[in-house]
Structure 1
């Protein structure tokens, strides 16, 4: 294993590929050495931007002894293929959410990484933010009593064009095959895994309403409702068509909690609560797991459950019916 770890970015398809490449450059324990992309022009541009080598043959890149890990930001529909190949080549994997288009593929990826003894972690960044830590502490103390309702909303205006120009989110994010879903499948992953964290990973039913404000091919406005066996309700909202504050609302039998990133304000029963600094992010955790030969158990489990709920929500929206969750 190299010191620092030698990392390659596999594809600049996703808009966060540049962010993770910056992390690979900035982290003292990693070095970005190569880029692969099935779109040669896009790959060469990304490699030039970060001063890395562009490699057009994925198998040749994965076969290199001087490569320790890969950041996978390919189209979602090829996640399973690329990750299994990377795992079998002995490369550690950091990947963008969602883990895969189906639960079966997600579980296949996890099995392949475990069999190969490589370290997998999925970018679920808001799990490690300070407000999440503070909210977990409130819930652990029972301050809200029994939770009855939760709502998490995250949106941006990437689908909306202005001054005759298309929105800043690339059109490839609205390709049904490559992206496998729109606002809910991409941005909505964050409200999904937070709702699962606060209310539980196993709802009884899932329903969904999707709409396309900009008409670019997939939903840019989504609401998902999760109904739990203990009668809790979770509401997940995501959009590419409005730029609203990130919001968390939790209601219980004995209190209420609200959070907004507008001012980073957390209120519990009307009183402001301090929000701590963020914990180490997923990329830093990945490096630690590689160096310490440990497994990201909670992250991996939550990534699979995230995939499960996203798949159910997409099925509910497509069929226009309530899905029994299993």
Structure 2
């Protein structure tokens, strides 16, 4: 049994992770901490567990084995370092931090402490990603040269119940979030493209604000990879009815994902009409993988490098927009 503390209800997915943890027989939610004391107390009461407003007390508690971090991103480093220094296993929402240097410090601390780490990059466990990766690895599309991926919603669009949109105001706090739509929703296209295309080498990005709320609410990043692949990665808080899209183009075929529909044209599947292939089963979720590594030493599929390269692309994209130029990666 892994006894965990939930660290903050700040993120919109905090409730989802608490639900998944409570439904996992290998996890016991033992405590809640939140930088917002009233919010934390209410959450702890809902979950029927104690609330503690002292972070150091929580992470030093010998009755706690691990932490689930869904705090503001700007305090990820502080919280994770504190937890790792007390030997707690770490599960965190993306992104890990705002800079690759901070990522490296976090990983150094966790490796020195010998704790297990997982970052929530759930689309790397999905059936369509697993199929796309297999198709690329098997050379079915020939030489892949272009990827386009889009994740968008209308969270900043006014509606009857929410004049500023349904996304919480705190998601427009530049200090806490480090950005807007690209660092949040854009994380999904970034980590998918990084996996499918290889190591990124340069980024050009525009982070635009339609609503003028202090962060980007619609963005695009063009990422150049060492493999020669170009990726166009889009995200938005101001798009209604926009489906998830993943497009992969090669010299011998095209793979299209729209919503849950996957279709392919290739020299082996036929070029005249779309084929709708059978997809592999999804694999264990990030949280299940975290538990499997802690309890059974099972190798997770989501790795340190996924977190590092996600941060690196976001950091380069922010610099590209700020300085209006292409940013090369170290």
> Do Structure 1 and Structure 2 share a fold, with TM-score over 0.5?
yes
1:253 CA displacement: 0.9
- Confirm or deny that 1:56 pairs with 2:53: yes
- Once residues 21 and 302 of structure 2 are traced to their aligned partners in structure 1, the CA distance between those partners, rounded to angstroms, is 23
Of 288-297 and 303-312, the range deviating more from structure 2: 288-297
- Once residues 93 and 247 of structure 2 are traced to their aligned partners in structure 1, the CA distance between those partners, rounded to angstroms, is 26
The change in CA–CA distance for 1:295 and 1:254 in structure 2 (over 3 A counts) is closer
The change in CA–CA distance for 1:139 and 1:65 in structure 2 (over 3 A counts) is same
- Once residues 43 and 100 of structure 1 are traced to their aligned partners in structure 2, the CA distance between those partners, rounded to angstroms, is 23
- Once residues 33 and 265 of structure 2 are traced to their aligned partners in structure 1, the CA distance between those partners, rounded to angstroms, is 47
Assess if the C-alpha contact under 8 Å between 2:141 and 2:249 holds in 1.
Answer: yes
**Aligned 1:246-265 pairs, distance under 5 A:** 246-261=244-259, 263-265=260-262
Q: Equivalent residue of 2:91, what SS?
A: strand
Matched residue, 1:217: 214
Assess if the C-alpha contact under 8 Å between 2:200 and 2:224 holds in 1.
Answer: no
What is the CA deviation profile of residues 105-163 of structure 1, one whole-angstrom value per residue up to 9, with x for unaligned ones?
Answer: 11111111111011011000000101111111111110110011100100111111113
The change in CA–CA distance for 1:15 and 1:315 in structure 2 (over 3 A counts) is same
Assess if the C-alpha contact under 8 Å between 1:14 and 1:74 holds in 2.
Answer: yes
Q: Equivalent residue of 2:111, what SS?
A: helix
The runs of at least 4 consecutive aligned structure 1 residues that moved more than 6 Å come to: none
- Once residues 195 and 229 of structure 1 are traced to their aligned partners in structure 2, the CA distance between those partners, rounded to angstroms, is 12
Matched residue, 1:28: 25
Assess if the C-alpha contact under 8 Å between 1:93 and 1:118 holds in 2.
Answer: yes
Task: Specify which of 164, 167, 181 is matched with residue 165 of structure 2.
Answer: 167
Task: Specify which of 39, 42, 49 is matched with residue 42 of structure 1.
Answer: 39
What is the CA deviation profile of residues 5-31 of structure 1, one whole-angstrom value per residue up to 9, with x for unaligned ones?
Answer: 111110011111111111110001001
Please, what TM-score do these two structures have when normalized by structure 1? 0.95
- Confirm or deny that 1:75 pairs with 2:72: yes
Assess if the C-alpha contact under 8 Å between 1:131 and 1:266 holds in 2.
Answer: no
Aligned residues: 321
- Once residues 235 and 167 of structure 2 are traced to their aligned partners in structure 1, the CA distance between those partners, rounded to angstroms, is 15
**Aligned 1:1-326 pairs, distance under 5 A:** 4-163=1-160, 165-203=163-201, 205-243=202-240, 244-261=242-259, 263-269=260-266, 270-293=274-297, 296=300, 298-326=302-330
Assess if the C-alpha contact under 8 Å between 1:147 and 1:232 holds in 2.
Answer: yes
RMSD: 1.4
- Once residues 48 and 120 of structure 2 are traced to their aligned partners in structure 1, the CA distance between those partners, rounded to angstroms, is 24
Q: Equivalent residue of 2:200, what SS?
A: coil
1:260 CA displacement: 1.2
Where structure 2 has 5 or more consecutive residues not aligned to the other structure, the ranges are 267-273
Please, what TM-score do these two structures have when normalized by structure 2? 0.94
The change in CA–CA distance for 1:114 and 1:145 in structure 2 (over 3 A counts) is same
1:275 CA displacement: 2.0
Assess if the C-alpha contact under 8 Å between 2:121 and 2:302 holds in 1.
Answer: no
- Once residues 114 and 196 of structure 1 are traced to their aligned partners in structure 2, the CA distance between those partners, rounded to angstroms, is 23
What is the CA deviation profile of residues 244-293 of structure 1, one whole-angstrom value per residue up to 9, with x for unaligned ones?
Answer: 110000111111110111x4333344211112331100000000111124
Q: Equivalent residue of 2:235, what SS?
A: strand
